[in-house]
A and B are shown apart, each in its own frame.
Chain A
């Protein structure tokens, strides 16, 4: 506590709070718009931060980061178009609630779960940064591979009811990620002579395509898929309030997802999307009523949102304790630290205690402000339920095209986005789940690089995957998940065939 107090003078300024609030507002807006991503916003904001106090500059970047990670859930819930890849897991149940006229409920849960997870993450960073860094270093290539496989088995959970289609979607995602430059040899592969394809399929084009564009095409088939209210939606409407039952279902999920998310955040290179999906899948497979998921389960929203925001502070663990940035955003912040004459790493806490304490307090303040700004912003965002499809979706399409152009300046990537939009639309029509495609795409490099690096480390001896204890543990989890999911699928099919004996299976 004394340690934290010495940081008070560092952050006790109007400028810090202004920059923090500005960062949060910008972050939430950018996060909510499909096509505008957080790393880009942070990079663009970087020059601005040089003209203010270093702690205020960091405050703005932290605000954008936290706000942006949360903002994606707003559009995911309201119009089924996740603003960020991590929010795609939120959309599964969140948008279902909106269809049931309970948008406010989903929005509230996603904010509260996010902020709660952030606090857990803040406290973990402040109290346990050094031991967590020790844990993060034990996640080497074999562990990455095994963790990737474990996360992948949860795809099965996400596609319950039609395992074959889910597996195909997951395999498609894994495969699409292997186009372009081979990460381990630098050779081009699967480019079919196209120089554009040497860059692989753009991740952002894929995300916007299969979610935003596919949704925009899907709603054309009928003009009233979204329940629209003419009257202004009220957040204190009973349907929009969280009940005791909602909390009873969600609290344990939020707690677990926060803890797991904190650890995932501390490991360099995993990130919020992995955390969101892992926690969503885990909550679904551990739930006593898994059939609720995908049909508007409030605990599904809670798991995904707690999962993705729990990484936002623990991601500073490797930066502060080892001096190694875990992702693009912390890499930029490393620059901001050095600009202040600070050398992140083991010596930081001893030599620059006041500044570090100030940084910690600022992160805590960010979480408080996030709650306030997020709650106020909800009034504005829920009004999108009043905008009609013919006005809303053309705008979504223009934002998607603009977002791609801003991120990669590539017309090719815009066509790629349209192509993935058609793919997503067809998959929706034919009953293929989209989520496994995205998870596969995210996990593919983790699995492949982990496997190939582990093979080199073991000089061809693959038992390294089993002799390293954490790796073996993840593989055991994966096996367990396969067994549980397989059993449920088998039991579910038997039940269905008994009921629908006479009807054709479609």
Chain B
């Protein structure tokens, strides 16, 4: 009995000692970066690309940990449940961070986390097949108004491309039918096969089809044109103020010590602004849209407010 009490005391003291030391010596052991999607997905590949230079910057290995499931909620929750010592960071996306907690009862909110920085804000492109009669957004809107309920668009249910398309349909007063898809690639296949007429998609999903001439972009749902596709006009240019831009970035649970957070932010800033890393990311997944922590936090707030009315029941 006495021994257990003593042992508990020793362990407690040790834990306190290591807890205090953590702030000064951080990082001193491997960091786990949670990816809330499957190994091999675009977020996962981006996270693995980032992990390599980030671990050099911090001087400890970074292990990419896939925790897929429940619309990204399982991994996000795990990042909240982990000890708040900065050794668990979350590669967070619009899906798991904003959309899933709005739509389903998952037990966390966007502001349970501290932003570290934004890595990517993908452009959303409204694509049609090359043989489609529509050349501009207006062509499509006219056709859709003439025949309500005739045209099909494909998108994963309740993710940014789907919600943006819904916003466009609301803004223009259209009746287009949603054919739910299982992911970006199946959606692109369905468009090429002619099973759907329109595909709102992340630029990375349709990039090779656009460049290869199999698809045509009608509009980009960003404030400015995508530098990779300068010929595709924005929706705003064509008279529809509809925006959508899913993000990928890093976050940690609230409650992580301030100096640890600063270390992580500094390391992330250094890597995200490193031309070598940028080049590699552009080639593999997509162009980077770096934002520092405070602005990334504002994006969370903006998206939360935008999507809340569309998703909350």
Give A contacts to B, CB under 8 Å: 39-40, 42-44, 46-47, 50, 137-138, 140-141, 180-181, 183-188, 195-196, 198-200, 202, 268-269, 318, 322-326, 328-329, 331-332, 334-336, 338-339, 341, 343-348, 407-410, 445, 449, 452-453, 456-457, 459
Chain A residues whose C-beta falls within 8 Å of the C-beta of B65 in the assembled complex:
409
* Known A42-B40, A184-B157: A268·B186 in contact at CB below 8 Å: yes
CB <8 Å contact, B180 and A184: yes
Q: Mark B89-127, 1 if CB is under 8 A from A, else 0.
A: 000000000000001101100000000000000000000
Min CB distance, A344 to chain B, in Å? 5
Kindly state whether residue B168 has any CB partner on chain A within 8 Å: no
- Complex CA distance for A343 and B212, rounded to whole angstroms: 7
Kindly state whether residue B167 has any CB partner on chain A within 8 Å: no
* Known A181-B71, A195-B77, A346-B214: A140·B195 in contact at CB below 8 Å: yes
* Known A322-B209, A343-B211: A200·B189 in contact at CB below 8 Å: no
Kindly state whether residue B283 has any CB partner on chain A within 8 Å: yes
Chain A residues whose C-beta falls within 8 Å of the C-beta of B107 in the assembled complex:
195
CB <8 Å contact, B284 and A345: no
- Complex CA distance for A463 and B213, rounded to whole angstroms: 34
Kindly state whether residue B169 has any CB partner on chain A within 8 Å: no
Kindly state whether residue B73 has any CB partner on chain A within 8 Å: yes
Chain A residues whose C-beta falls within 8 Å of the C-beta of B4 in the assembled complex:
none
Chain B residues whose C-beta falls within 8 Å of the C-beta of A46 in the assembled complex:
45, 48
Min CB distance, B194 to chain A, in Å? 8
Residue of B whose beta carbon sits closest to that of A50? B280
Min CB distance, A470 to chain B, in Å? 12
Min CB distance, B125 to chain A, in Å? 14
Kindly state whether residue B219 has any CB partner on chain A within 8 Å: no
Residue of B whose beta carbon sits closest to that of A138? B193
Min CB distance, B237 to chain A, in Å? 26
* Known A195-B70, A268-B189: A328·B40 in contact at CB below 8 Å: yes
CB <8 Å contact, A268 and B73: no
CB <8 Å contact, A345 and B192: no
How many chain B residues touch the partner (CB < 8 A)?
57
Kindly state whether residue B141 has any CB partner on chain A within 8 Å: no
Kindly state whether residue B136 has any CB partner on chain A within 8 Å: no
- Complex CA distance for A339 and B195, rounded to whole angstroms: 31
CB <8 Å contact, B189 and A322: yes
Q: Which of A46, A198, A324, A457 has its CB near the most chain B CB atoms (within 10 A)?
A: A324
CB <8 Å contact, A137 and B208: no
Interchain residue pairs with CB less than 8 A apart (6): A195-B106, A196-B70, A198-B70, A322-B214, A328-B40, A346-B214
* Nearest 6 pairs of A and B residues by beta carbon: A199-B69, A345-B212, A323-B208, A198-B70, A328-B40, A43-B39
Chain A residues whose C-beta falls within 8 Å of the C-beta of B194 in the assembled complex:
137
Kindly state whether residue B226 has any CB partner on chain A within 8 Å: no
CB <8 Å contact, A39 and B182: no
Kindly state whether residue B58 has any CB partner on chain A within 8 Å: no
Give B contacts to A, CB under 8 Å: 34, 38-42, 44-45, 48-49, 51-52, 65-71, 73-74, 77-78, 103-104, 106-107, 149, 152, 156-158, 177-180, 182, 185-186, 188-190, 192-195, 207-209, 211-214, 280, 283-285
CB <8 Å contact, A47 and B48: yes
Chain A residues whose C-beta falls within 8 Å of the C-beta of B209 in the assembled complex:
322-324, 345
CB <8 Å contact, B284 and A338: yes
From B49, B157, B214, A186 is in contact (CB under 8 Å) with B157
Chain B residues whose C-beta falls within 8 Å of the C-beta of A140 in the assembled complex:
190, 193, 195
From B44, B67, B157, B189, A409 is in contact (CB under 8 Å) with B67
18 more A-B contacts (CB under 8 A) besides A322-B189, A346-B212? A44-B48, A47-B51, A184-B157, A187-B104, A188-B70, A268-B189, A322-B188, A322-B192, A324-B192, A326-B185, A331-B41, A335-B285, A338-B283, A339-B280, A343-B212, A344-B208, A410-B74, A453-B179
Min CB distance, B41 to chain A, in Å? 7
Min CB distance, A23 to chain B, in Å? 16
CB <8 Å contact, B195 and A457: yes
Residue of B whose beta carbon sits closest to that of A334? B208
CB <8 Å contact, B45 and A335: yes
Chain A residues whose C-beta falls within 8 Å of the C-beta of B38 in the assembled complex:
39, 328
- Complex CA distance for A449 and B156, rounded to whole angstroms: 12
Chain B residues whose C-beta falls within 8 Å of the C-beta of A326 in the assembled complex:
185
Residue of B whose beta carbon sits closest to that of A268? B189
Residue of A whose beta carbon sits closest to that of B284? A335
- Complex CA distance for A481 and B195, rounded to whole angstroms: 29
- Complex CA distance for A387 and B51, rounded to whole angstroms: 40
- Complex CA distance for A183 and B155, rounded to whole angstroms: 12
CB <8 Å contact, A269 and B212: no
- Complex CA distance for A459 and B148, rounded to whole angstroms: 13
Residue of A whose beta carbon sits closest to that of B280? A50
Chain A residues whose C-beta falls within 8 Å of the C-beta of B49 in the assembled complex:
47
Chain A residues whose C-beta falls within 8 Å of the C-beta of B212 in the assembled complex:
323, 343-348
CB <8 Å contact, A199 and B193: no
Residue of A whose beta carbon sits closest to that of B187? A324
CB <8 Å contact, A453 and B185: no
Chain B residues whose C-beta falls within 8 Å of the C-beta of A334 in the assembled complex:
208
CB <8 Å contact, A325 and B185: yes
CB <8 Å contact, A39 and B208: no
Min CB distance, A180 to chain B, in Å? 7
Chain B residues whose C-beta falls within 8 Å of the C-beta of A43 in the assembled complex:
39-40, 44-45, 48, 66
CB <8 Å contact, A328 and B189: no
From A137, A184, A341, A449, B192 is in contact (CB under 8 Å) with A137
- Complex CA distance for A456 and B190, rounded to whole angstroms: 14
* Known A186-B103, A323-B214, A331-B185: A407·B66 in contact at CB below 8 Å: yes
- Complex CA distance for A314 and B276, rounded to whole angstroms: 34
- Complex CA distance for A457 and B104, rounded to whole angstroms: 27
Chain A residues whose C-beta falls within 8 Å of the C-beta of B280 in the assembled complex:
50, 339
CB <8 Å contact, A453 and B208: no
Chain A residues whose C-beta falls within 8 Å of the C-beta of B52 in the assembled complex:
47
CB <8 Å contact, B78 and A409: yes
From A186, A198, A325, A328, B39 is in contact (CB under 8 Å) with A328
Chain B residues whose C-beta falls within 8 Å of the C-beta of A202 in the assembled complex:
69
Min CB distance, B64 to chain A, in Å? 8
* Known A331-B185, A335-B45, A410-B67: A198·B73 in contact at CB below 8 Å: yes
CB <8 Å contact, B193 and A328: no
- Complex CA distance for A199 and B195, rounded to whole angstroms: 29
Chain A residues whose C-beta falls within 8 Å of the C-beta of B211 in the assembled complex:
343, 345, 347
Min CB distance, A367 to chain B, in Å? 23
Min CB distance, A329 to chain B, in Å? 7
Min CB distance, B84 to chain A, in Å? 18
- Complex CA distance for A329 and B152, rounded to whole angstroms: 29
Min CB distance, A467 to chain B, in Å? 14
Q: Which of B67, B188, B208 has its CB near the most chain A CB atoms (within 10 A)?
A: B208
Min CB distance, B52 to chain A, in Å? 5
CB <8 Å contact, B208 and A343: yes
- Complex CA distance for A457 and B118, rounded to whole angstroms: 38
From A42, A187, A200, A345, B208 is in contact (CB under 8 Å) with A345
CB <8 Å contact, A198 and B71: yes
CB <8 Å contact, A324 and B74: no
